[in-house]
Amino acid sequence: MHVRELAVRDVYEFSPRLFRDTRGFFGAPFQEEVFVKTVGHPLRLGQINHSVSRLGTIRGVHFADTPPGQAKYVYCPVGALLDVVVDLRVGSPTFGTWDATRLDAEACAAVYVPEGVGHAFVALEDDTVLAYLCSTPYNPGAEHAIAPLDPELGLPWPADLEPVLSEKDRSAPALAEASAAGLLPDYAACVRHYESLRGA
């Protein structure tokens, strides 16, 4: 398993070794030992989400109140997508920074998104599937969104795709508006939460 930290602090991409033969291939997108060594604590599992999206669909930028927040370990078992993370933690050294990585069914790579970091993606093919291992169950009262088309963020959505958005994401506030309204996670609170997960 190859691991690299993305430009947003505490976010990691995990790329498993794939074993190919005449039948196809086998890979393990999540490996607990590598995950714990990288992140410092086990992945709590409160819910598994499964989304199917048509070409051009953008889901996000989503985040939850922290603590407890909702960490996500995401991978793409069918199709292909551009996965995007945005540091929404006020006070973070990488606040406002985003990074993106392609996830697809051929590479079986995964991205870990810790509590307090925003997550979004765009489907690059019809019927693209994203599987999310989530640390906590869905809590509608604690879920929030940032406008994925916020020009100040400048997220790298492909220019040749017509974006397909939910009404929730289309009407979500820009990053500056959410910050002014006090909706964004506090970095120090997130760090304390991470340390509690590590038993520090």
Of 2, 50, 119, 132, catalytic: 132
> Smallest Cα–Cα separation from 7: which of 115, 121, 94?
94
Annotation marks residue 62 as catalytic: yes
> Smallest Cα–Cα separation from 29: which of 46, 12, 41, 44?
12
DSSP states of 115-171: TTEEEEEEESSTTEEEEEEESS---GGGEEE--TT-TTT-----TTS--B--HHHHT
DSSP collapsed to 3 states, 89-130: CECCCCCCCEEEEEEECCCCCEEEECCCEEEEEEECCCCEEE
**81 three-class SS:** strand
> Smallest Cα–Cα separation from 173: which of 185, 162, 159, 183?
183
Annotation marks residue 194 as catalytic: no
Of 12, 41, 50, 62, catalytic: 62
Residues 92 and 27: their CA atoms lie apart, in Å, by 34
Query: Could you list the active site residues?
Result: 62, 132
